A and B are shown apart, each in its own frame.
Chain A
Amino acid sequence: MIATQSRQGLELLEELSRTGDGKPPLGCMQCGLCAASCPLGDAMEFPPRKLILEAMARGLDRVLASPSLWMCVGCYTCSLRCPRDIELTDRLWPALRDRSMQAGFQPPAELQETFQNVLKYGNVLGKSPRQRLDWAKDLDVRVLDLSKEPRPVEVLWLVGCYPSYYPRNRVVTRAFARILTELGVSWGVLGAKEKAVGECDRMFGEEGLFETLVEENRKLLAQQDFERIVTLDPHAFRALQNFYPRYGVWYPVEHYTTFLAGRLEKLRALVVRPVEATVTYHDNCCVGRRAGCFEPPRALLQLIPGLKLVEMERNRENALCCGGGGGGMWLDGHIVAQGGKRLSDQRILQAAQTGADILAVSCPYELSRFEDAAKVAGLESRLKVRDIIELLAESMDLGERSDS
């Protein structure tokens, strides 16, 4: 019964490869909504519509060899708008990338390195697994390492690679630990045993790597006793909710915004300090556009006294992706070489246009992407980038903040 991504991807590919029978593959009407919606469509040799057209006319050879295959950042805009509901982002692109690598084409070098890192060390950054819990050093709340002390908990917090290792993200991670504790939630982490969930590997087409991670995580999770998984990473949330179950690995999982929004009244009593700032919120793609979860993050922000929420013109399902998904964190060089732009550079200007003091985010990639973009645009003194968690922690009077 295990329907793997590859089987369905293969079905899509096979349909795509069929030519000459008069029927457009996948039910595609060639309307072009996908290409027009794609934030990088202009720079792609084969945006989705053209890709399907090419398959109809000539087959997949040129597509598999094309560098534009490695430009999709997994924003789901095309998939959401496709009138035929073709699963472009989740199925077609990963299957094509997989097929391309199987045929011997080399993915961009930076991606290769992330694959090697995940395979060897269980994290995309190539850091030692032993240092995975270093973010918790000298933390003023107790971090329960379930890999050493297995105990029943309400929440198994899958911390994630960037939140564990990346300096800027560690501030957020520590703040979340404090918030969970303050809320009286019983929680634990997997410590040095935690492995990447693998969502980005699946998106890059490294299906074999994804399946390897599913198996490793299956074993890890089976050893633990918990009610739900909570993650800071919308990408991990998406994989755990939508793809792991296809391998028989199913657990209730929430992104932190829904988890905390489910405890709104408790939080209301705890947000004592005002944060006097105008804040605009950037909807991330996996929890936002894809899962339709737009109100919980806003509810959290509006809880904070003194905080004024303003909207960017492109918000909710029309938000412009930051460019970090689908491998995007490692594809900026490749995308720029193909004539594309860093999407975070565009998005930061949209945020600045609102007149906001703070751009609030809820995805680990967005912190560094938007802070970089703010520097590039010369905005960093005017527009700060903060995770919702940092703003909540500040309002709850819970410890250190980032200094940037």
Chain B
Amino acid sequence: MSGSDILVLAEVHRGTLADITFELLAAARGLVGGSGGEVVALVLSENGAAFAPALGAADRILLVDHSALANYAPEPFLAALAEVVTARSPRAVLIGATSIGWDLAPLLAARLDAPLALGCKAISAEDSALAVTASFCGGKMVAELRIDRAPAVLMVLPGSFRAAEAAGKAQVEPCTLSASLEPAAIRFEEFLLPEAGDVDITQQDILVAVGRGIQQKENIELAEQLAQVLGGAVCASRPVVDQGWLPTTRQVGKSGMTVRPKLYLAFGISGAPEHQEGMKNSELIVAVNTDPRAPIFDIAHYGAQVDALELLPALVEAIGARKG
């Protein structure tokens, strides 16, 4: 690897490659351009060879296999990542803004005293520097950053890049580490899965989503009525689930489910990046929010600046009138 390579952390979660990996590979491809650098995917796992065939969009795949990497725990993953980055000196390290990424990106940057950008939406190479567009303040502010030190650690928001298609055959390179990955102070025990039995919102064609603007638990009934006449289901943004008004299986967003329904109706949801992540690929997005500046309007196809609590029953009525 040379100083113009871009290293992508291929994220493995519960035995599969996370979708963000392919978005990161696309971002990396855009950066290496004609520089002669390589797009290098790094797989940290117990048996990385299994993932190699899916990573054809990279030029090179580094496999670090170790029993300590079978399930995510910060210390062995950080040690392995840091060692590879130090040895290979890439221009930048791309990590997804995921549960794992939120640990590893800042920890890596601190470990290497490397510049870090959170919330990256766009990256380009500008001579010897990188130009990064980053979103923060709940999506209400955008910063343009210039990074002229390598390696740059970039935590990329899901949905910022279109997933890369496999190009040709990537070179697979098994790596051994000199660092010992054990013992660690933080130990993975097990995954806790949600109880089955509730609606699977990822399988619904029509979703009626409620956010803080719904104001009271009781008003969710209005959304249920609309979902019923549309033949869909109710889902929610994190604040509603945090309040206990709906179970976590209904949560849409970064720390919830990712959905791609035919219709996503968002009521009283501001549309912070964490939520957008979970629904931005919905085919038709209609957003209702009294705040005209709500970020949800940036990704919605249609919007209305009216009170969700007024519009929900009005919609039920209008649909009923049409049918009846």
Contacts and interface: CB of A to CB of B under 8 A. Distances in A.
Q: Do chains A and B touch in the complex (CB under 8 A)?
A: yes
Interface of A: 109-110, 167-168, 330, 332-333, 336, 372, 375
Interface residues of B, number: 12
Of the listed residues B218, B243, B310, the one surrounded by the most CB atoms of chain A closer than 10 A to its CB is B218
Given A375-B313, A375-B317, 9 more contacts: A109-B243, A109-B244, A110-B217, A167-B307, A168-B310, A330-B216, A332-B218, A336-B218, A372-B313
Given A109-B243, A167-B306, A167-B307, A332 B313 contact: no
Contact of B218 (A167, A333, A375): A333
Contacts of B215: 110
Contacts, number: 20
Interface string B185-204: 00000000000000000000
B310 A333 contact: no
20 contacts: A109-B243, A109-B244, A110-B215, A110-B216, A110-B217, A167-B290, A167-B306, A167-B307, A167-B310, A168-B310, A330-B216, A332-B216, A332-B218, A333-B216, A333-B217, A333-B218, A336-B218, A372-B313, A375-B313, A375-B317
Contacts of A372: 313
Nearest to A109: B243
Contacts of B317: 375
Nearest to A110: B216
Contacts of B217: 110, 333
B229 to A, nearest CB: 14
Contacts of A168: 310
A323 to B, nearest CB: 12
B203 to A, nearest CB: 29
Contacts of B216: 110, 330, 332-333
A330 B244 CA distance: 16
B233 to A, nearest CB: 20
Contacts of A110: 215-217
Interface string B29-44: 0000000000000000
Contacts of A109: 243-244
A108 to B, nearest CB: 9
Which of B216, B310, B313, B317 is most buried by chain A, counting CB atoms within 10 A of its CB? B216
Interface string B225-253: 00000000000000000011000000000
